[in-house]
């Protein structure tokens, strides 16, 4: 799915939102965890994961946080130069294999920074399935 936004193109604005859906299947979860060096059996071993409190394979936190940060980079780089400055995440609920999640970011503040030659964009984000929030996030990016 392509990135969707409340405001296609144009100037940044407080309240502007953008989002993208991501599907997490077992194969993708295993591949990402292996590439990231995450050997936790919850991401690789179906039998061990089924015996756990999660009842099956779950995605690694590095997997969905990377996708969420990548969404920010992709969105802002479409209009010019952009770099992430800082991100924080709170994991509320595991992301199970077979689920489709919606990552959404909202611009909550814009600060002009003449020294850096652009705007520091303050963001609030979520990763959710329907109304169930799995991750909350905050971030800052420089948009030039």
Task: Identify the CATH number of the domain in which residue 114 sits.
Answer: 3.10.129.10
pLDDT tens for residues 71-112? 999 999 987 889 999 999 999 999 999 999 999 999 999 999
* Total number of domains constituting the chain: 1
Torsion of the alpha carbons at 41, 45, 47 and 51, rounded to the nearest 10? 20
Beta bridge partners of 125: 105, 137
1, part of any domain: no
For residue 89, give the H/E element and its range. Answer: strand 82-91
More reliable by pLDDT, 77 or 10: 77
53, part of any domain: no
32, part of any domain: no
Domain extent at residue 135? 14-24+64-143
Strands of the sheet containing 99-113, edge to edge, are 4-5, 17-24, 99-113, 118-129, 132-143, 82-91
**What's the Cα-to-Cα distance from 133 to each of 6, 32, 50, rounded to whole Å?**
20, 22, 22
**Model confidence, pTM:** 0.91
8, part of any domain: no
82, part of any domain: yes
Question: Does residue 25 surpass a pLDDT of 60?
Answer: yes
Q: How far is CA 140 from the centre of its chain?
A: 13
36, part of any domain: no
122, part of any domain: yes
To the nearest whole percent, how much of the chain has pLDDT over 90? 88
135, part of any domain: yes
């Amino acid at each position: 799915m392509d990135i969707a936004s409340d405001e296609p193109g144009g100037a940044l604005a407080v309240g502007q939102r953008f989002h993208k859906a991501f599907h997490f299947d077992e194969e993708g979860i295993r591949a990402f965890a292996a590439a990231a060096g995450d050997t936790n059996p919850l991401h690789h071993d179906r039998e061990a994961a089924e015996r756990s409190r999660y009842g099956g394979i779950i995605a690694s936190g590095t997997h969905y946080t990377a996708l969420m940060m990548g969404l920010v980079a992709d969105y802002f780089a479409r209009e010019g130069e952009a770099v992430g400055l800082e991100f924080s995440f709170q994991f509320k609920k595991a992301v199970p294999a077979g689920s489709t999640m919606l990552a959404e970011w909202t611009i909550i503040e814009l600060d002009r920074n003449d020294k850096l030659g652009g705007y520091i964009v303050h963001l609030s984000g979520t990763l959710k399935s329907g109304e169930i929030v799995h991750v909350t996030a905050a971030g800052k990016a420089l948009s030039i």
